[in-house]
Amino acid sequence: MYEVLRLRDLPFFQTVQEILSFYTCPPTCPAICCKVTDIDVDEKDRKILKKAAKGNTTMIKPSTEYESRHYKINPPCPFLEHDKCSVYHRRPTICRLFPFNICHNPEALILYPCDVGASLFDDFIDYSNCVLRQPISEKMISDFRQSHSSFTLETDRDLPIAMIGIEISDLVPFKKYLESK
């Protein structure tokens, strides 16, 4: 399992940033990512946020999900103000990856079905068809789109959200595909 502590140092981090630069969050999205999922925080993130929060770190709680030193913020994130991140340039690493997230498979990232995730997935379907020549199954496409339509602030946090796994080895070729479009 990945240690979130080292997340920003992993080779895929920069590639994900470059992929995400092709997408823009719609102004109509009420920052669902900051309201419905736990926000993982590593030690470096915690130190940076501590300065932004003027020393008040009570909202950053220890988490037992990972064996390494690890913290989390319960949603909705207290740094969200009027649906904007008040610590944007100091936000945790995990926020910089969304709608991607790490998962238990070290060879893949998961993709959340928010608006940006859905746009990205549409491009990934094209990439799979045109570059990989391995079409994604209709069922997987249908499940993800269904999940997108029900991914709202009312998302039941006790119910699993249908996400898709994207192989880390596909990130660089997918980025190149986006650049070539």
Residues near ligand SF4, by CB under 6 A = 25, 29, 31-34, 39, 77, 79-80, 85, 87, 91-92, 95, 98-99, 114-116
Write down the least CB distance from residue 64 to ligand SF4, Å: 20
Closer CB to ligand SF4, 116 or 171, in the complex:
116
| CA nearest to 75, candidates 49, 95, 53, 97 | 95
CB 108 within 8 A of CB 170: no
Closer CB to ligand SF4, 132 or 145, in the complex:
145
d(CA 8, CA 84): 22
Closer CB to ligand SF4, 62 or 139, in the complex:
62
Write down the least CB distance from residue 99 to ligand SF4, Å: 5
Residue 113: asked if its preceding bond is cis (omega within 30°), the reply is no
Write down the least CB distance from residue 106 to ligand SF4, Å: 23
Q: Which helix (H) or strand (E) holds 139?
A: helix 138-149
Closer CB to ligand SF4, 4 or 114, in the complex:
114
Write down the least CB distance from residue 133 to ligand SF4, Å: 29
Write down the least CB distance from residue 140 to ligand SF4, Å: 20
From residue 90, alpha-carbon distances to 39, 61, 96, 106 in Å are 14, 18, 10, 26
Query: What token pair was written down for 58?
Result: 């009570």
The bridge status of strand 39-41 relative to strand 71-73 is antiparallel
Closer CB to ligand SF4, 99 or 174, in the complex:
99
Q: Which residues pair with 111 in a beta bridge?
A: 100, 164
